[in-house]
Structure 1
Amino acid sequence: MRTKSGRPWPSVGRPRPADVSSGMVTGLFSIPEGMAYAAIAGFNPVAGLYAGVVPAIVGSFTARTVLMVTTLTSAIALTSQSVLSDAGLDPKDAGNVATLTLMVGVVMLLMGLLRLGVVLSFVSNAVMTGFSTGIALQIITGVLKDATGYRPEGHNKLVQVGNWLVHVGDWEGAATLVAVVTVVVWALARAVKRLEPVALLIAMVVVAVGVAVFATDVELVRDIARIPGALPGFSAPDFSAVPDLIGGAFSVALVALAQAAGIAPSMPNPDGSRSDVNGDFRAQGYANAIGGLFQALPSGGSLSRTGVAVSAGARTRWAGVISGVFLALVVLVCGSLAERIPMPVIGGLILVVGGELIWGKRHDILLVLRTSWMSAGAMILTFLATTQLPLQQAILIGAVLSLLLYCAQAARQGKLVRLEQRGDGRWAVGERPPPASLAPGEITVLDYAGSSFFAELPRIEGELPSVEGARGSVLILVVRALPDVPSSAVLKLLDRYAATLAEQGGRLVLVGVQPPLVRLLEKSGLAERLGDGGIVPAEPELFAPLDKAIAAARAAVPTPLPRETP
């Protein structure tokens, strides 16, 4: 698959020093985060660890969103577990995991190859802002237990935050102290400009060493599972499970792709290149198709891990590649040391990353709130759905809200405007609205501005001038904005109005009609009912068809018609 530049793959470039330190930080984060996500969902924790190796390397090499890190997320882990359980399959069976991961990759690849990423362009900015903010809150609630030793109750993320705050007395002192010290060390390191790119790494190493020196009693990575001193080996899929996982693979892919869709707006490419949703779909597909053969759980663009990489100074795609390579080296060479990473350290730093993600969205949130009450409502509803419902349901709600928002905006934007000819012969939008009725023997020129969507038709029909007593009048309707294949209701409206106007002795002329629409009007019989000259095709010169229609209207009437309605 070639990119817009003609290259079969995205430009790789050269790694920068900041990418090395960023990749190391991100790789270390993948150890406790990946293992914890897998364990929570009932998978082998090592499979979550391996999801940060091959998928991260392959995804970063091929993604069009340069900084996107492809790996396991909590939402993907929970959705995958639900899919396997519903199919009656053991989530700890390596063959079942390999089959699901491979199928998820195939679905992603197909969606990218079919260019279905265009569907996301119809998701409104308001909905995407609510979704991304909700995901950031999910990231925060996912580590509250690691940071304080207290696991908040409730499925609703907002309720969990409230429960966590109310039960501050139940927080474990040691865990909370370690998390607070981690945040303080990070803040101090970040205050020094030279140390800013490696602030996360400094905080992780310094506090982890301090916990070991003072023998602080907090949860460590090894309390979740032991890290094998070996690279992921080949894992053969169990193809007998394919029929049971077809629908589930689509669900997991949808959750993963929707999460990843929020990364490009939040972390634009530092090199100024444009992200490509379909390219990102394919990149995640490659990551899963290959990662599934090497013991990895289903993966997708991770907003939290990408946030860690960016906070650590990532500048190119090499940060994600190095994170996977470094993780593999750590597992192979010093897994026993990695097992000693304190979970409160990871919890404290993820709280920082999640907070930065939400803070970074503040301008988008304020913009949506100031735009319109409908956009604000869509954003708030999507945010609430993302924090209270399973992610796949929240995605569907967001899609429906985007559709409803589009319908409402289309209905409001569709209108007719009066065109007037200036003294120099040029056409311009008139200062007055369309006339309430057509005057006998006069030419009226109106321009249709809309999308021909059925929701706007009542508004358009209400703006059409009354035809009562319009003998000898001509309504010239410019339809440059009308799609090649408009709503059938539009054709019925035009046919009905033309017939009513003809009964009064007037005429409707359509101007600027595109060739495909001309053929459709001919097939429907409307062209014949409009008569000769009733359809004036579009031309390269914008207003040439309109001038021709005016001349024809004057010539068709025995007595001279006055100039178009002033």
Structure 2
Amino acid sequence: MSTAKQPWGKPSPKDVVSGLVTGLFSIPEGMAYANIGGFNPVLGLYSGMVPTVLGSLLARTVLMTTTLTSAIALSSHSVIAEAGLDPSKLATVEMLTLMVGLAMTVFGLLRMGSLMSFVSNAVMTGFTTGIALQIIAGVVGDATGYHPTASNTLGKIAQWLWHVGDWQLAPTLVALATVAVWAVAHAIRPLRSLATLIALAVVTAAVALLDVDVDLVRGISSIPNSLPTPVMPEFSQAPDLAFGACAVALVALAQAAGIGSAVPNPDGTRGSVSGDFVAQGVANLGGAFFRALPTGGSLSRTGVAVSAGARTRWAGVFAGLWLALVVVLFGSVAELIPMPVIGGLVIIIGIDLVVGRLPDIRMVLQTSWLAALAMLVTFLATTQLPLQDAIIIGAALSLLLFCVQAARHARLRALEPTGDGHYRLVPVPQRLGDGDVVVLDYVGVSLFAEVSRMEEQWPRVDGDGVVIILSLRILPDVPSSTFLKSMARRADQLRSRGGRLILCGVDDELQHSLAATGLLERLGPDNVVPAGDVVFAGVDEALRRAHAGPGQSP
């Protein structure tokens, strides 16, 4: 059955298993993230139920798991505190979740996901690699018993490694045992997709039987054997939370934007960042009435699902359902999961995510020093600064990289007729004498930064009656005013010596801009040749007009 007829696909046994593993992971990880953000840890647990199911059903990146992340938890607490509200008040938290969902949905419906396509691969590689290290830095304390106090990701990892002597023996051995069991199971092909679940179950059982003294999930909070009961958000606080909700939404969406490239759809279908925006928005709109914190696409939880064998979006649906079932039936048993086990498995996932980015890192390093610099700066920003600042820096770097590359590659070339209806590209003549007619081909996007380069390549006019035909094959719908001003100046210079500037390949939008700015009148209607469907047909028409003379165009 085609995807169009069955948009949700058919669940597989591996999806059921993957959902179970992801659901179990959501117990300690969700509670830990909520605790890190200063919220009731049980809210982190509930954030993996309704939002995860709704997000998985609607996401265009089918394996993306929508749930709470550490960055979202920290950003949410900061927003509520800065608004002068109480983060411990449930109705306030749910109002923020509702506002975040509304912002995400609006962004998606306005197709603002397309803005993410302007973020270069270099910037996205630095961002996702930094996020992977953030994931690792967030659990090193659980894995070894030593909790670094540095304020940024690289500082935490460096401090953690430097104080290896302060690592506690019991949690470190449990984490190493978890990695070892996972590695053995992963090396056996039939068990590869179950490696995470096997490591979680085996080491948890061993710790319980041997009575190893390590932190357990129950140390974060007790788990109630019940589903989240409905709650109403505090609607009167919407104005106070509106701006902050947009900030949290951008943090969450930026984190999720890299999941599509890191974890492409198994069936080969294309994802949609805007579609994912809407899916995450609906997930939050639903979760806001069932005690969920703001949620978004989680790279770490998606990594858990994929490593456990997820094949379709049903893996995420099962994750939310399994979590609900486990909480209701075995909530107290889940409290026995050791935190070093979670730490060890999350470190494995983080390392796997970094290794998965190595081909992109090598590609960026081999592309250009500008791309490599953008990747490095974004990586450092992601690991050293608040995530919202890193997002702004990454977007600015992408824009700057585009402008620099566009300005560097914009050029003028001359078109020389071959006599058989074709043209060859030749260098622009340095000077033009009396009565010369030359066709110039402009390759660029009319970015203002390109104009100075084009001016440098423009031929010197030493004679009278010179006609310059400028072919505009690659020009956006709305050219820059700097470009139009340059064309106006060139047209005036040529006209002062009895010459003409003819623009050919002019589309409707450019025609409108020429008319609105008065440039059409300065050029003269006969000196503007519309674009056609045939390549260089406009050049042929422009040449006929040039040789026919002013006012005598055929």
TM range (shorter): over 0.9
Encode CA deviations 1:299-343: one digit per residue, 9 max, x unaligned.
Answer: 000000000101111110011100000000000001111000010
Task: Say which SS state the counterpart of residue 375 (structure 1) adopts.
Answer: helix
Tell me the distance in 2 between the aligned counterparts of 1:479 and 1:262.
36
With 345-354 and 441-450 compared, the bigger mean Cα shift is at: 441-450
Residues 1:533 and 2:526 are matched in the alignment: yes
Structure 1 stretches (4+) deviating beyond 4 angstroms?
A: none
Number of the residue aligned with 1:461: 455
Q: How does 1:186-225 map to 2 (within 5 A)?
A: 186-225=182-221
Residues 1:307 and 2:300 are matched in the alignment: no
Q: Which of 352, 361, 383 is 2:348 aligned to?
A: 352
* Deviation at residue 344 of structure 1 after TM alignment: 0.4
- Matched letter for residue 464 of structure 1: W
Number of the residue aligned with 1:37: 33
* Deviation at residue 96 of structure 1 after TM alignment: 0.8
Unpaired segments of 5 or more residues in structure 2?
none
* Deviation at residue 556 of structure 1 after TM alignment: 2.0
Number of the residue aligned with 2:224: 228
Tell me the distance in 1 between the aligned counterparts of 2:200 and 2:19.
14
* Deviation at residue 190 of structure 1 after TM alignment: 0.5
Tell me the distance in 2 between the aligned counterparts of 1:523 and 1:50.
57
* Deviation at residue 488 of structure 1 after TM alignment: 1.0
Answer yes or no: is the 8 Å Cα contact 1:153–1:160 preserved in 2: yes
Tell me the distance in 2 between the aligned counterparts of 1:518 and 1:344.
66
Residues 1:158 and 2:154 are matched in the alignment: yes
Tell me the distance in 2 between the aligned counterparts of 1:331 and 1:92.
23
Answer yes or no: is the 8 Å Cα contact 1:231–1:328 preserved in 2: yes
Task: Say which SS state the counterpart of residue 100 (structure 1) adopts.
Answer: helix
Number of the residue aligned with 1:550: 543
Residues 1:487 and 2:483 are matched in the alignment: no
Tell me the distance in 2 between the aligned counterparts of 1:391 and 1:531.
53
Residues 1:181 and 2:181 are matched in the alignment: no
Number of the residue aligned with 2:266: 270
Number of the residue aligned with 1:512: 505
Answer yes or no: is the 8 Å Cα contact 2:408–2:450 preserved in 1: yes
Tell me the distance in 2 between the aligned counterparts of 1:336 and 1:225.
11
* TM-score after normalising by structure 1: 0.95
* Deviation at residue 463 of structure 1 after TM alignment: 0.9
Encode CA deviations 1:55-87: one digit per residue, 9 max, x unaligned.
Answer: 110000000000000000000000001111111
- Matched letter for residue 530 of structure 2: P
* Deviation at residue 504 of structure 1 after TM alignment: 2.3
Number of the residue aligned with 1:416: 412
Task: Say which SS state the counterpart of residue 294 (structure 1) adopts.
Answer: coil
Encode CA deviations 1:240-294: one digit per residue, 9 max, x unaligned.
Answer: 2212111110111010000000100000000111000110000000000000100
Tell me the distance in 2 between the aligned counterparts of 1:152 and 1:531.
71
Unpaired segments of 5 or more residues in structure 1?
559-566
- Matched letter for residue 510 of structure 1: L
Q: Which of 331, 338, 343 is 2:327 aligned to?
A: 331
Tell me the distance in 1 between the aligned counterparts of 2:85 and 2:315.
36
With 365-374 and 210-219 compared, the bigger mean Cα shift is at: 365-374
Tell me the distance in 1 between the aligned counterparts of 2:163 and 2:134.
19
Residues 1:371 and 2:364 are matched in the alignment: no
Number of the residue aligned with 2:464: 471
* Deviation at residue 555 of structure 1 after TM alignment: 2.5
Tell me the distance in 1 between the aligned counterparts of 2:509 and 2:20.
57
Using a 3 Å threshold, how does the CA distance of structure 1 residues 402 and 231 change in structure 2: closer, same or farther?
Answer: same
* Deviation at residue 125 of structure 1 after TM alignment: 1.0
Answer yes or no: is the 8 Å Cα contact 2:135–2:350 preserved in 1: yes
Encode CA deviations 1:523-563: one digit per residue, 9 max, x unaligned.
Answer: 333222223521111111122221121122222289xxxxx
- Matched letter for residue 16 of structure 1: S
Tell me the distance in 1 between the aligned counterparts of 2:386 and 2:278.
25
Q: Which of 123, 127, 131 is 1:127 aligned to?
A: 123
Task: Say which SS state the counterpart of residue 83 (structure 1) adopts.
Answer: helix
- Matched letter for residue 347 of structure 1: G
With 67-76 and 148-157 compared, the bigger mean Cα shift is at: 148-157
Number of the residue aligned with 2:432: 438
* Deviation at residue 6 of structure 1 after TM alignment: 7.3
Task: Say which SS state the counterpart of residue 230 (structure 1) adopts.
Answer: coil
Number of the residue aligned with 1:450: 444
Encode CA deviations 1:159-179: one digit per residue, 9 max, x unaligned.
Answer: 111110111111110000000
Encode CA deviations 1:351-393: one digit per residue, 9 max, x unaligned.
Answer: 0000000000001111111111111111111110110111111
Tell me the distance in 2 between the aligned counterparts of 1:425 and 1:489.
34
Tell me the distance in 1 between the aligned counterparts of 2:536 and 2:465.
24
Answer yes or no: is the 8 Å Cα contact 1:174–1:217 preserved in 2: yes
Tell me the distance in 2 between the aligned counterparts of 1:519 and 1:216.
76
Tell me the distance in 1 between the aligned counterparts of 2:491 and 2:368.
37
Tell me the distance in 2 between the aligned counterparts of 1:210 and 1:121.
47
Using a 3 Å threshold, how does the CA distance of structure 1 residues 147 and 483 change in structure 2: closer, same or farther?
Answer: same
Length, aligned pairs only: 550
- Matched letter for residue 302 of structure 2: T
Residues 1:401 and 2:397 are matched in the alignment: yes
Answer yes or no: is the 8 Å Cα contact 2:255–2:299 preserved in 1: yes
With 482-491 and 169-178 compared, the bigger mean Cα shift is at: 482-491
Answer yes or no: is the 8 Å Cα contact 2:428–2:458 preserved in 1: yes
Answer yes or no: is the 8 Å Cα contact 2:230–2:291 preserved in 1: yes
With 305-314 and 413-422 compared, the bigger mean Cα shift is at: 413-422
Tell me the distance in 2 between the aligned counterparts of 1:163 and 1:142.
13
Q: Which of 136, 144, 149 is 1:140 aligned to?
A: 136
Number of the residue aligned with 1:498: 491
Tell me the distance in 2 between the aligned counterparts of 1:233 and 1:38.
18
- Matched letter for residue 511 of structure 1: C
Tell me the distance in 2 between the aligned counterparts of 1:285 and 1:137.
26
* Deviation at residue 429 of structure 1 after TM alignment: 2.3
Answer yes or no: is the 8 Å Cα contact 1:470–1:506 preserved in 2: no
Tell me the distance in 1 between the aligned counterparts of 2:304 and 2:416.
58
Answer yes or no: is the 8 Å Cα contact 2:59–2:275 preserved in 1: yes
* Deviation at residue 414 of structure 1 after TM alignment: 1.4
With 507-516 and 354-363 compared, the bigger mean Cα shift is at: 507-516
Residues 1:245 and 2:220 are matched in the alignment: no
Tell me the distance in 1 between the aligned counterparts of 2:370 and 2:253.
26
Tell me the distance in 2 between the aligned counterparts of 1:523 and 1:106.
39
Answer yes or no: is the 8 Å Cα contact 1:533–1:549 preserved in 2: no
Tell me the distance in 2 between the aligned counterparts of 1:268 and 1:484.
32
Q: Which of 89, 93, 103 is 2:89 aligned to?
A: 93
Task: Say which SS state the counterpart of residue 154 (structure 1) adopts.
Answer: coil
Tell me the distance in 1 between the aligned counterparts of 2:75 and 2:515.
52
Task: Say which SS state the counterpart of residue 361 (structure 1) adopts.
Answer: helix
Residues 1:23 and 2:46 are matched in the alignment: no
With 395-404 and 316-325 compared, the bigger mean Cα shift is at: 395-404
With 114-123 and 62-71 compared, the bigger mean Cα shift is at: 114-123
Task: Say which SS state the counterpart of residue 526 (structure 2) adopts.
Answer: coil
* Deviation at residue 17 of structure 1 after TM alignment: 1.1
Tell me the distance in 2 between the aligned counterparts of 1:240 and 1:124.
40
Give the alignment's Cα RMSD to 1 decimal: 1.5
Tell me the distance in 2 between the aligned counterparts of 1:516 and 1:217.
72
Task: Say which SS state the counterpart of residue 293 (structure 1) adopts.
Answer: coil
Tell me the distance in 2 between the aligned counterparts of 1:100 and 1:388.
26
- Matched letter for residue 547 of structure 1: D
- Matched letter for residue 270 of structure 1: P
